[in-house]
Amino acid sequence: MSDLFSIKGRTALITGGSRGIGRMIATGYLQQGARVYISARKAQACLQTAQELSALGHCVALPFDVSTVQGAHALADAYRQHEPSLDILVNNAGAAWGETFDTYPEKGWDKVVDLNMKTPFFLTQALIAELRKAAETHKAKVINIASIDGISLNPQETYAYAASKAGLIHLTRRMAVRLIADGIVVNAIAPGAFASDMNKDARDNAEFVASRIPAGRIGVDDDMAGAAIYLASRAGDYVVGATLVVDGGVTHAR
Protein backbone atom coordinates (compact mmCIF):
# COMPACT_ATOMS: atom_id res chain seq x y z
CA MET A 1 0.00 0.00 0.00
CA SER A 2 2.95 2.33 0.45
CA ASP A 3 3.03 3.26 -3.26
CA LEU A 4 -0.69 3.06 -3.99
CA PHE A 5 -0.97 6.83 -4.49
CA SER A 6 2.57 7.33 -5.79
CA ILE A 7 3.27 9.04 -9.10
CA LYS A 8 6.97 9.42 -8.44
CA GLY A 9 8.97 9.36 -11.66
CA ARG A 10 5.88 9.58 -13.86
CA THR A 11 5.60 12.13 -16.66
CA ALA A 12 2.63 14.49 -16.84
CA LEU A 13 1.47 17.04 -19.40
CA ILE A 14 -1.07 19.59 -18.18
CA THR A 15 -2.77 22.02 -20.53
CA GLY A 16 -3.80 25.35 -19.06
CA GLY A 17 -1.12 24.69 -16.48
CA SER A 18 0.04 28.24 -15.87
CA ARG A 19 -2.76 29.23 -13.51
CA GLY A 20 -5.90 28.16 -11.68
CA ILE A 21 -6.81 24.49 -11.53
CA GLY A 22 -4.01 23.52 -13.93
CA ARG A 23 -1.42 25.08 -11.66
CA MET A 24 -2.97 23.40 -8.61
CA ILE A 25 -2.62 20.01 -10.29
CA ALA A 26 0.91 20.73 -11.54
CA THR A 27 1.98 21.72 -8.03
CA GLY A 28 0.53 18.56 -6.50
CA TYR A 29 2.16 16.34 -9.12
CA LEU A 30 5.55 17.97 -8.59
CA GLN A 31 5.26 17.56 -4.83
CA GLN A 32 4.64 13.86 -5.43
CA GLY A 33 7.76 13.48 -7.57
CA ALA A 34 6.37 13.59 -11.11
CA ARG A 35 8.10 15.20 -14.08
CA VAL A 36 5.70 17.90 -15.18
CA TYR A 37 5.21 19.75 -18.47
CA ILE A 38 2.75 22.63 -18.54
CA SER A 39 1.22 24.29 -21.55
CA ALA A 40 -0.65 27.57 -21.91
CA ARG A 41 -1.53 29.97 -24.71
CA LYS A 42 0.31 32.93 -23.18
CA ALA A 43 4.00 32.14 -23.44
CA GLN A 44 5.28 34.54 -20.78
CA ALA A 45 2.82 33.33 -18.15
CA CYS A 46 3.63 29.70 -18.98
CA LEU A 47 7.37 30.27 -18.73
CA GLN A 48 7.05 32.20 -15.49
CA THR A 49 4.91 29.53 -13.84
CA ALA A 50 7.29 26.78 -14.92
CA GLN A 51 10.20 28.73 -13.48
CA GLU A 52 8.39 29.19 -10.17
CA LEU A 53 7.30 25.55 -9.97
CA SER A 54 10.78 24.31 -10.81
CA ALA A 55 11.61 24.91 -7.16
CA LEU A 56 9.49 21.81 -6.49
CA GLY A 57 10.92 19.56 -9.19
CA HIS A 58 11.23 19.05 -12.94
CA CYS A 59 8.82 21.49 -14.60
CA VAL A 60 9.07 22.59 -18.23
CA ALA A 61 6.95 25.13 -20.10
CA LEU A 62 5.58 24.22 -23.52
CA PRO A 63 3.57 27.31 -24.55
CA PHE A 64 1.09 26.55 -27.33
CA ASP A 65 -2.44 27.51 -28.30
CA VAL A 66 -4.24 24.15 -28.33
CA SER A 67 -7.62 25.53 -29.42
CA THR A 68 -6.97 24.15 -32.92
CA VAL A 69 -6.02 20.67 -34.04
CA GLN A 70 -2.84 22.16 -35.53
CA GLY A 71 -1.95 23.62 -32.15
CA ALA A 72 -2.62 20.31 -30.41
CA HIS A 73 -0.27 18.54 -32.81
CA ALA A 74 2.38 21.23 -32.30
CA LEU A 75 2.22 20.68 -28.53
CA ALA A 76 2.48 16.92 -28.99
CA ASP A 77 5.52 17.36 -31.23
CA ALA A 78 7.17 19.64 -28.67
CA TYR A 79 6.48 17.20 -25.83
CA ARG A 80 8.05 14.26 -27.65
CA GLN A 81 11.26 16.25 -28.00
CA HIS A 82 11.60 15.81 -24.22
CA GLU A 83 10.06 12.41 -23.42
CA PRO A 84 9.49 9.13 -25.30
CA SER A 85 6.30 8.30 -23.41
CA LEU A 86 3.51 10.01 -21.47
CA ASP A 87 2.10 8.64 -18.23
CA ILE A 88 -0.50 11.32 -17.44
CA LEU A 89 -2.31 13.75 -19.72
CA VAL A 90 -4.48 16.37 -18.03
CA ASN A 91 -6.79 18.12 -20.48
CA ASN A 92 -7.47 21.24 -18.44
CA ALA A 93 -7.31 24.18 -20.87
CA GLY A 94 -10.74 25.75 -21.12
CA ALA A 95 -12.77 28.86 -21.82
CA ALA A 96 -16.10 30.36 -20.80
CA TRP A 97 -18.42 32.91 -22.37
CA GLY A 98 -21.44 34.40 -20.64
CA GLU A 99 -24.07 36.33 -22.59
CA THR A 100 -27.85 36.52 -22.85
CA PHE A 101 -29.69 34.02 -25.03
CA ASP A 102 -30.84 36.71 -27.47
CA THR A 103 -27.33 37.98 -28.18
CA TYR A 104 -25.13 34.91 -27.64
CA PRO A 105 -22.63 35.00 -30.58
CA GLU A 106 -21.31 32.25 -32.79
CA LYS A 107 -17.72 33.30 -32.06
CA GLY A 108 -18.32 32.74 -28.33
CA TRP A 109 -19.90 29.36 -28.97
CA ASP A 110 -17.08 28.19 -31.24
CA LYS A 111 -14.32 29.42 -28.94
CA VAL A 112 -15.74 27.63 -25.91
CA VAL A 113 -16.82 24.38 -27.55
CA ASP A 114 -13.60 24.00 -29.54
CA LEU A 115 -11.32 24.41 -26.53
CA ASN A 116 -13.46 22.64 -23.93
CA MET A 117 -14.59 19.62 -25.91
CA LYS A 118 -12.74 19.29 -29.23
CA THR A 119 -9.22 19.90 -27.90
CA PRO A 120 -9.25 17.10 -25.27
CA PHE A 121 -10.14 14.59 -27.97
CA PHE A 122 -7.62 15.69 -30.57
CA LEU A 123 -4.75 16.27 -28.12
CA THR A 124 -5.26 12.79 -26.70
CA GLN A 125 -5.32 11.45 -30.25
CA ALA A 126 -2.08 13.33 -31.06
CA LEU A 127 -0.34 11.79 -28.03
CA ILE A 128 -1.79 8.30 -28.30
CA ALA A 129 1.54 6.69 -29.24
CA GLU A 130 3.25 8.13 -26.14
CA LEU A 131 0.35 7.07 -23.91
CA ARG A 132 0.43 3.55 -25.34
CA LYS A 133 4.19 3.42 -24.78
CA ALA A 134 3.72 4.24 -21.09
CA ALA A 135 0.92 1.67 -20.86
CA GLU A 136 3.37 -1.11 -21.72
CA THR A 137 4.47 -1.17 -18.07
CA HIS A 138 1.54 0.38 -16.15
CA LYS A 139 -1.78 2.10 -16.75
CA ALA A 140 -1.44 5.44 -18.52
CA LYS A 141 -3.95 8.10 -17.50
CA VAL A 142 -6.00 10.76 -19.25
CA ILE A 143 -7.86 13.18 -16.98
CA ASN A 144 -10.33 15.60 -18.54
CA ILE A 145 -11.26 18.63 -16.47
CA ALA A 146 -15.02 19.09 -16.77
CA SER A 147 -17.23 21.15 -14.43
CA ILE A 148 -20.25 20.75 -12.19
CA ASP A 149 -21.97 23.03 -14.73
CA GLY A 150 -21.94 20.02 -17.05
CA ILE A 151 -23.94 18.08 -14.44
CA SER A 152 -26.40 20.61 -13.02
CA LEU A 153 -27.44 24.11 -14.04
CA ASN A 154 -26.41 27.38 -12.46
CA PRO A 155 -28.31 30.64 -13.04
CA GLN A 156 -25.70 32.16 -15.34
CA GLU A 157 -26.28 32.21 -19.09
CA THR A 158 -23.20 30.26 -20.11
CA TYR A 159 -24.77 28.16 -22.85
CA ALA A 160 -21.69 26.91 -24.67
CA TYR A 161 -19.81 26.30 -21.42
CA ALA A 162 -22.54 24.15 -19.90
CA ALA A 163 -23.04 22.25 -23.14
CA SER A 164 -19.32 21.69 -23.72
CA LYS A 165 -18.69 20.42 -20.19
CA ALA A 166 -21.67 18.06 -20.37
CA GLY A 167 -20.35 16.88 -23.72
CA LEU A 168 -16.88 16.38 -22.27
CA ILE A 169 -18.28 14.18 -19.50
CA HIS A 170 -19.97 11.95 -22.05
CA LEU A 171 -16.91 12.04 -24.33
CA THR A 172 -14.85 10.86 -21.35
CA ARG A 173 -17.05 7.76 -21.09
CA ARG A 174 -16.76 7.02 -24.80
CA MET A 175 -12.98 7.47 -24.85
CA ALA A 176 -12.60 5.41 -21.68
CA VAL A 177 -14.40 2.37 -23.06
CA ARG A 178 -12.18 2.38 -26.15
CA LEU A 179 -8.81 3.24 -24.65
CA ILE A 180 -8.89 0.90 -21.65
CA ALA A 181 -8.14 -1.87 -24.16
CA ASP A 182 -4.79 -0.13 -24.73
CA GLY A 183 -4.06 0.18 -21.02
CA ILE A 184 -5.07 3.86 -20.96
CA VAL A 185 -7.52 4.88 -18.24
CA VAL A 186 -9.69 7.92 -19.01
CA ASN A 187 -11.64 9.81 -16.34
CA ALA A 188 -12.84 13.33 -15.63
CA ILE A 189 -12.90 15.72 -12.69
CA ALA A 190 -15.83 18.11 -12.26
CA PRO A 191 -14.68 20.97 -10.04
CA GLY A 192 -17.02 23.25 -8.18
CA ALA A 193 -16.00 26.64 -6.81
CA PHE A 194 -12.23 27.15 -6.87
CA ALA A 195 -10.62 30.58 -6.91
CA SER A 196 -9.29 31.28 -10.40
CA ASP A 197 -9.36 33.81 -13.22
CA MET A 198 -12.17 31.80 -14.81
CA ASN A 199 -14.17 31.65 -11.57
CA LYS A 200 -13.82 35.25 -10.48
CA ASP A 201 -16.85 34.95 -8.18
CA ALA A 202 -15.09 32.33 -6.04
CA ARG A 203 -11.85 34.31 -6.20
CA ASP A 204 -13.29 37.71 -5.30
CA ASN A 205 -16.34 36.78 -3.21
CA ALA A 206 -15.21 33.59 -1.49
CA GLU A 207 -17.21 34.13 1.70
CA PHE A 208 -20.49 34.69 -0.16
CA VAL A 209 -19.91 31.74 -2.49
CA ALA A 210 -19.02 29.53 0.47
CA SER A 211 -22.36 30.32 2.11
CA ARG A 212 -24.08 28.38 -0.69
CA ILE A 213 -21.82 25.32 -0.41
CA PRO A 214 -22.75 22.54 2.06
CA ALA A 215 -19.07 22.10 3.04
CA GLY A 216 -19.01 25.77 4.06
CA ARG A 217 -16.03 26.81 1.97
CA ILE A 218 -14.70 27.04 -1.56
CA GLY A 219 -12.18 24.51 -2.82
CA VAL A 220 -8.49 24.89 -2.01
CA ASP A 221 -5.43 23.77 -3.94
CA ASP A 222 -5.00 20.48 -2.09
CA ASP A 223 -8.61 19.47 -2.82
CA MET A 224 -7.92 19.59 -6.54
CA ALA A 225 -4.41 18.16 -6.32
CA GLY A 226 -5.64 15.25 -4.21
CA ALA A 227 -8.34 14.28 -6.70
CA ALA A 228 -5.90 14.50 -9.62
CA ILE A 229 -3.24 12.46 -7.81
CA TYR A 230 -5.79 9.77 -6.95
CA LEU A 231 -6.87 9.33 -10.56
CA ALA A 232 -3.28 9.49 -11.85
CA SER A 233 -1.92 6.92 -9.40
CA ARG A 234 -2.37 3.16 -9.16
CA ALA A 235 -5.20 3.83 -6.72
CA GLY A 236 -7.34 4.97 -9.67
CA ASP A 237 -6.52 2.14 -12.07
CA TYR A 238 -9.96 0.50 -11.81
CA VAL A 239 -11.90 3.77 -12.09
CA VAL A 240 -12.79 3.94 -15.78
CA GLY A 241 -14.93 6.55 -17.49
CA ALA A 242 -16.00 8.18 -14.24
CA THR A 243 -16.43 11.84 -13.39
CA LEU A 244 -15.15 12.67 -9.92
CA VAL A 245 -17.14 15.61 -8.53
CA VAL A 246 -15.04 17.89 -6.30
CA ASP A 247 -17.45 20.60 -5.18
CA GLY A 248 -18.12 20.45 -1.43
CA GLY A 249 -21.60 19.03 -2.10
CA VAL A 250 -23.01 21.96 -4.05
CA THR A 251 -24.47 19.89 -6.91
CA HIS A 252 -26.65 18.08 -4.38
CA ALA A 253 -27.91 21.38 -3.00
CA ARG A 254 -28.86 22.97 -6.33
Q: What is the pLDDT of residue 195?
A: 81
- Establish how many alpha carbons lie within 13 A of residue 202's alpha carbon, considering only the half-sphere containing its beta carbon: 20
pLDDT of 208 strictly over 90: no
* Residue 238 is a catalytic residue: no
- DSSP class of residue 236? G
Whole-prediction pTM value? 0.96
Give the pLDDT of residue 244: 98
> 117-126, 201-210, 219-228, 242-251: lowest mean pLDDT where?
201-210
Read off the pLDDT band of 117 (50, 70, 90). very high
* pLDDT score for 118: 98
User: Any residues with CB less than 8 A from the CB of 25 and at least 6 apart, and which?
Assistant: 14, 17, 90, 92, 224, 225, 228
pLDDT tens for 36-76 read 999 999 999 999 999 999 999 999 999 999 999 999 999 99
Q: Tell me the per-residue pLDDT of 85-96, one tens digit each, with 9 for 90 and over.
A: 999 999 999 999
Average pLDDT, the chain: 95
Which pLDDT score, from 0 to 100, does residue 207 have?
82
Determine the residue type at 207.
Answer: E
- 140 vs 219: CA distance, rounded Å: 27
Residue 205 is predicted with a pLDDT of: 74
- Of these residues, 159, 161, 230, 238, which one is catalytic? 161
User: pLDDT tens, 128-176?
Assistant: 999 999 999 999 999 999 999 999 998 899 999 999 999 999 999 999 9
Query: Which percentage of the chain shows pLDDT scores above 90?
Result: 89
CATH of domain 11-253: 3.40.50.720
pLDDT of residue 203: 73
Please state the domain extents for the chain. 11-253
CA distance 254 to 247: 12
